[in-house]
Structure 1
Amino acid sequence: MNSVQRSILFSAADRYGSLALFFVATAVLSRLLSPAEFGIYAVVNAVTTVIGASFQEFGGGNYLIQKRELSTENVRAAFTITLGISLAIALLLFVLAGALSDLFAEANLKRGIEISALNFLLIPFSGTISALLRRDMKFGTLAICNFAAGVAVALVSIGLALVGFSYMAPVWGGLAGSVILALALLAGHRDFDALRPSLVEYREIVGFGLYSSGVSIINVFYNLAPQLFLARILDFASVGLYSRAINLTQVFDRLVTQVLNPVVMPALVAKRQAGEDLKTVYLKSIELLSAAQWPFLIFVAIMARPIIAIWLGQTWLEIVPLVRLLCIANMALFAACLSYPVLVAVGSVRDALISSFISLPPSLLLILGASFFGVQAVAASALLTLPFQAAVAVYFIGRHLSFGLKDLARALMKSGLVTAATAFGVACCAVLTEAGMLPSLASLVLALCAAAVCWWLGLLLTGHPLLHQLHLAAAGLIRIAPKLRPSRSAL
C-alpha cells in the first residue's frame, strides 16, 4: 500500500471508531433528551462554532499543510496567532453570552455558551499538532488520540444526561473530549519547542488566513444558519428536529468524506508538486465518490422511517420527510470535499472565497425566507440551494483544470446507473414495509442486503472504476493482515 492508501486506512479507522461512538451516544441521548433540549444544545454549538470560524483559520492547519517548505518559525508563528485569536474568541463568547441568550429569548443559552468557550483555550495546541501530523501523514497517531477523545465525549455526555444535566450534558461532554484530545496529542507529539510564541513569519500566515478564514466563516455560518434562523423565528423543538435530520443525512460524510478530508489536501498538494494532471485526478475522484454517495443517500431517503424508528426511537419519526428532502438535495454535493483542497492545490484560495460569496448569500436568503414557513420548508429549500452551490464550485474548478460539462457528465454517467440499480432494489423492500408485511428491523436488514447486491451488480455491469479500487483495497488489507497478527514467539 502506498502512503496515501495507508493514510486513508488509518483515517478510516479513526472515523469509523468515532462513528460507532456517535451512533451509540446519539441513540442513548435521543431517549434521554427531548427535541427542545437538543435544540438548545444545537444553538449553543452553532453560535460558538460560527464565532470561532470567524478567526480560527488565520493561523489554522490548512496553512501548515499546504506550505511547501515548513520551518520551525512558521509553526511557531502559526501557533502564536492561533493562541492569540483563540483567547480573544473565548473572552468574546464570555462577554456576549448574556446578549446572545437574550437574542434567542432562552436564558439557558448563557451557561452553555460560557462552558463551550473554554474549548477555545485548547484549540491552539490540538489544532497545531493535528495539522503537523496530517502534513506528515501520521494518521495512526491521530486515530488513537481522536478515538480517546470520542470515548470521553460519549461517556461524559451519557453519564451527565442520566443524572439530569439536560442540554448541558453534551456541552460538558464536548469540553471533556477537547481536554483529552489536547493532552493525548501533546503526549504523543512531545516537540514542545515548536509551540513557543513567535511572530517572525506572521505576514505570510495572515495573508493566507485572510482568504482561508473568509471561506471558513461563510461556509460554517451557512451550514449552521438554518438552526439559528429556526431558533429565532420558530422554537427550539424545531431546531432539535432539524438538527437530528441533518445528523442522519450526514452519516455518509462521517463514513466516507470525513475519512478522506484529512488526507485530500496534503495528497493533492503532493500530486501538484510532483507535476501530475489534477484534471484527471479530480474527474476520477468524483466518479468514485458519486458511486458511493448517491446510492447511500438514496438508501437513507427510501428507508428513513425504519432507520429513525430503530436508531432514534418513535419520538423522532416527525423528521422522516426532512431526512428525505435533505438526502435528495445532498446528492448535489458529491464533489464538495474536493472543492477547497483543489483550489488551494492550484494556488487559488482566493477563488474559493469568491465562489462562496457568489453561492452562499443567496442561499442564506432563501433559507431565511423558508424559516417563516416551518422546518419542512427549510429542508425543502436545500433542493435549490445545494445544487446551485455545487454548480458554482464546479465552474471555478473547471476554469483551473480545463474541463467542461461533457467531461463531468462522462465521469458521472456510470455512477447514475449504479444508483438507479440500487434504488430499484431498495424500493422493492420499501413497498413490502409500507404494506405492513415486514417489521422495521426485518425490512431494514432486507433492504440493506438488496442494496448491497444491486449496488455490486451495478458496479459490475457498468465496469465502474470503484470496483477496481475495492479490489485493490481488499488486496492491500490481505497483505497487511499478517503483519497485524502477533507472532508465535511473542505469545
Structure 2
Amino acid sequence: MNSVQRSVLFSAVDRYAGLVLFLVSTAVLSRLLTPSEFGVFAVVNALTAVITAAFQEFGGANYLIQKRELSRGTIRTAFTITLGISLAIALILFATADVVSRLVAQDSVRRGIEVSALNLLVLPVSGTLIALFRRDMQFGTLAVCNLASNMAVALVSIGLAVLKFSYMAPIWGGVAGSMVLTAMLLSSYRDFSVLRPSLSEYRDVLEFGLYSSGVSVINVFYNLAPQLFLAKVLDFTAVGLYSRAINLTQVFDRLVTQVLNPTIMPAIVTRRAAGADLKGVYLDAVQLLSAVQWPFLTFVAIMARPIVLIWLGEAWLDVVPLVRILCLANLAVFAACLTYPVFLAVGRVRDALVSSCISIPPSLLALLGASFFGVEAVAACALLTLPFQAAVAIYYLSSHLALRPGEFGRALLKSGVVTMATVAGAATCAALIGTGTLNLIVGLISALVVAAFCWLWGLIVTRHPLLQHLRQAAAGLAEMAPRRLPSRPVL
C-alpha cells in the first residue's frame, strides 16, 4: 500500500470507530432527550461552531498543511495567533451569552454557550497538533487520539443524560471530549516547543487566514443557519427535528467524506507539486465519489422510515419526510469536499471566497423565507439552494482546470447507472416492508444486502473505475493481514 492508501485506511478506522460510537450514543440520547431538549443543544452547537470557524483558519490546519516549507517559526506563529483569537472569542462568548439567549427567547441557551466556550481554551493546541500529524500523514496516531475523545464524548453525554442533565449532557460531553483529545495529542507529540509564543511570520498567516476564514465562516454559517432561523421563527422542537434529519443525512459524510477529508488536501497539494494534471485528478475523484454518495443517499431516502424507527424510535417519526428531502438535495454536492482543496492547489483561495459570496447570501435569504412556512419548507428549500451552490463552485473551478461541461457529464454517466441499479433493489425491499411481508429489522437488513448486490452489479456492468480501487484496497488489506506461519513437525 502506498502512503495515501495507508493514510486513508487509518482515517477510515478512525472515522468508523467514531461513527459506531455516534450511532450508539445518538440512539441512547434520542430516548433520553426530547426533540425540544435536543433543539437547545443544536442551537448552542450551531452558534459556537460558526464562531469557532471564524478563527480556526488563522493558522489552522489548512494553513499548516498547504505551506510548502514549514519552519518552527511558522508553526509557533500560527499557534500564537490562533490562541490569541480563541481566548478573545471565549471571553466575548461569556460576556454576550445572556444577550444571545434573549434573542432566541430561551434562557437555557445562556448556560450552554458559557460551557461550550470552554472548548475554545484547548482548541488552539489540539488544532495545531492535528494539522502537524495530518501533514506528516500520521493518521494512525490521530485515530487513537480521536477514539479516546469520541469515547469520552459518548460516555459523559449518556451518563449525564441518565442523571437528568437534559440538554447540558451532550454539551458537557463535547467539553470532556476536547479535553481528552488535547491530552492525548500532547502525550503523542511531546515536542512542546512548537507551542511557544511567536509572531515572527504573522503577515503570511493573516494574509492566508483572511480569505480562508471567510470561506469557512460563510459555509459553516449556511449549514447551521436553518437551525438558528427555526429557533427564532418557530420553536426548539422544530430545531431538534431538523437537526436529527441532518444527522441522518450526513451519515454518508461520516462514512466516506470525513474519512477522505484529512487526506484529500495533503494528497492534492502533493500531486500538484509533482506536476500532476489536476483536471484528471478532479474528474477521477468525481467519478469515485458520485458512485458511492448517490447510491447511499438514495438508499437512505427510500428506507428512511425503517431507519428512523429502529435508530431513533417512534418519537422521531416526523423527521422521515425531512430526511428524504435532504437526501435528494444533497445529491448535488457530492464533489463539495474537493472544491476547496483544488482551489488551494491552484493558488486561488480567493476564488473560493468569491464563489461562496455569490452563492451563499441568496441561499440564506431563501432559507429565512422558508422558515416562516415550517420545517419541511426549510428542508425543501435545499432542493434549490444546494444545486445552485454546486453550479457556482464548479463554474469557478472549470476556468482553472479547463474543464468542459461535456467532460463533467461523461464522468458522472456510469455513476448514474450504478445509482439506478441500487434504487431498484432498495425500492423492492421497501415495497415488501410496506405490505407487511417483511418486518422492519429483517426488511432493513434485506434491503442493505440487496442494494449492495445491485450496486456491485452496476459497477461491474458499467466497468466503473471504482472497481479497480476496491480491488487495490482488498489487496492492501490482504498484505497487512498476518501471514500464517508454517506448522512445525511434531517430534
Match of 1:329 in 2: 329
The separation in 2 between residues aligned to 1:112 and 1:314, in whole angstroms, is: 27
Match of 1:281 in 2: 281
Match of 1:242 in 2: 242
Match of 2:372 in 1: 372
SS in structure 2 at match of 1:55: helix
What is the correspondence of 1:224-235 to structure 2 with a 5 Å cutoff?
224-235=224-235
Match of 1:77 in 2: 77
Match of 2:98 in 1: 98
Instruction: Note if 1:208 corresponds to 2:208.
Output: yes
Match of 1:259 in 2: 259
Q: CA deviation at 1:460?
A: 0.4
The 1:142–1:390 alpha-carbon spacing in structure 2 relative to 1, beyond 3 Å, is same
The 1:239–1:486 alpha-carbon spacing in structure 2 relative to 1, beyond 3 Å, is farther
Match of 2:466 in 1: 466
CA deviation map 1:90-122 (0-9, x unaligned)? 001001100000000001011100000000000
SS in structure 2 at match of 1:69: coil
Instruction: Note if 1:130 corresponds to 2:141.
Output: no
Could you tell me which amino acid in structure 1 is paired with residue 115 of structure 2? Answer: I
What is the correspondence of 1:148-227 to structure 2 with a 5 Å cutoff?
148-227=148-227
Match of 2:477 in 1: 477
What is the correspondence of 1:25-40 to structure 2 with a 5 Å cutoff?
25-40=25-40
The separation in 2 between residues aligned to 1:458 and 1:263, in whole angstroms, is: 28
Q: Mind listing any 5+ residue stretches in structure 2 that lack a counterpart? A: none
CA deviation map 1:387-446 (0-9, x unaligned)? 001111111111111111100011000000000000011111111111122211111011
The separation in 1 between residues aligned to 2:300 and 2:270, in whole angstroms, is: 35
The separation in 1 between residues aligned to 2:368 and 2:486, in whole angstroms, is: 61
Match of 1:399 in 2: 399
The Cα RMSD (Å) is: 1.3
Match of 1:314 in 2: 314
| Shift >3 Å, 4+ stretches | 485-489
Could you tell me which amino acid in structure 2 is paired with residue 386 of structure 1? Answer: L
Could you tell me which amino acid in structure 2 is paired with residue 5 of structure 1? Answer: Q
CA deviation map 1:198-224 (0-9, x unaligned)? 000110000000000000110010000
Q: CA deviation at 1:314?
A: 0.8
SS in structure 1 at match of 2:482: helix
The separation in 1 between residues aligned to 2:339 and 2:294, in whole angstroms, is: 18
CA deviation map 1:333-377 (0-9, x unaligned)? 110000001100110100000010011111000000000000000
Match of 2:23 in 1: 23
Length-normalised TM-score, structure 1 = 0.98
SS in structure 1 at match of 2:68: coil
Length-normalised TM-score, structure 2 = 0.98
Could you tell me which amino acid in structure 2 is paired with residue 359 of structure 1? Answer: S
The separation in 1 between residues aligned to 2:274 and 2:141, in whole angstroms, is: 26
Match of 1:351 in 2: 351
The separation in 2 between residues aligned to 1:432 and 1:482, in whole angstroms, is: 43
SS in structure 2 at match of 1:59: coil
The separation in 1 between residues aligned to 2:325 and 2:82, in whole angstroms, is: 38
Q: CA deviation at 1:56?
A: 2.3
Match of 2:296 in 1: 296
Could you tell me which amino acid in structure 2 is paired with residue 398 of structure 1? Answer: S
The separation in 2 between residues aligned to 1:96 and 1:399, in whole angstroms, is: 43
The separation in 2 between residues aligned to 1:49 and 1:446, in whole angstroms, is: 38
Q: CA deviation at 1:54?
A: 1.9
The separation in 2 between residues aligned to 1:345 and 1:82, in whole angstroms, is: 23
Q: CA deviation at 1:55?
A: 2.2
Q: CA deviation at 1:486?
A: 11
The separation in 2 between residues aligned to 1:93 and 1:56, in whole angstroms, is: 16
Q: CA deviation at 1:61?
A: 1.1
SS in structure 2 at match of 1:54: helix
The separation in 2 between residues aligned to 1:450 and 1:55, in whole angstroms, is: 46
The 1:486–1:143 alpha-carbon spacing in structure 2 relative to 1, beyond 3 Å, is farther
The separation in 2 between residues aligned to 1:56 and 1:132, in whole angstroms, is: 14
Match of 2:416 in 1: 416
Could you tell me which amino acid in structure 2 is paired with residue 351 of structure 1? Answer: D
The separation in 2 between residues aligned to 1:243 and 1:373, in whole angstroms, is: 17
Could you tell me which amino acid in structure 1 is paired with residue 99 of structure 2? Answer: A
Could you tell me which amino acid in structure 2 is paired with residue 129 of structure 1? Answer: L
The 1:488–1:89 alpha-carbon spacing in structure 2 relative to 1, beyond 3 Å, is farther
The separation in 2 between residues aligned to 1:359 and 1:439, in whole angstroms, is: 44
The separation in 2 between residues aligned to 1:56 and 1:282, in whole angstroms, is: 26
Q: CA deviation at 1:488?
A: 11
Could you tell me which amino acid in structure 2 is paired with residue 260 of structure 1? Answer: L
Q: CA deviation at 1:57?
A: 1.1
Could you tell me which amino acid in structure 1 is paired with residue 201 of structure 2? Answer: E
SS in structure 2 at match of 1:482: coil
SS in structure 2 at match of 1:122: helix
Match of 1:425 in 2: 425
SS in structure 2 at match of 1:166: coil
The separation in 2 between residues aligned to 1:135 and 1:20, in whole angstroms, is: 26
Aligned length: 488
Q: Mind listing any 5+ residue stretches in structure 1 that lack a counterpart? A: none
The separation in 2 between residues aligned to 1:284 and 1:438, in whole angstroms, is: 39
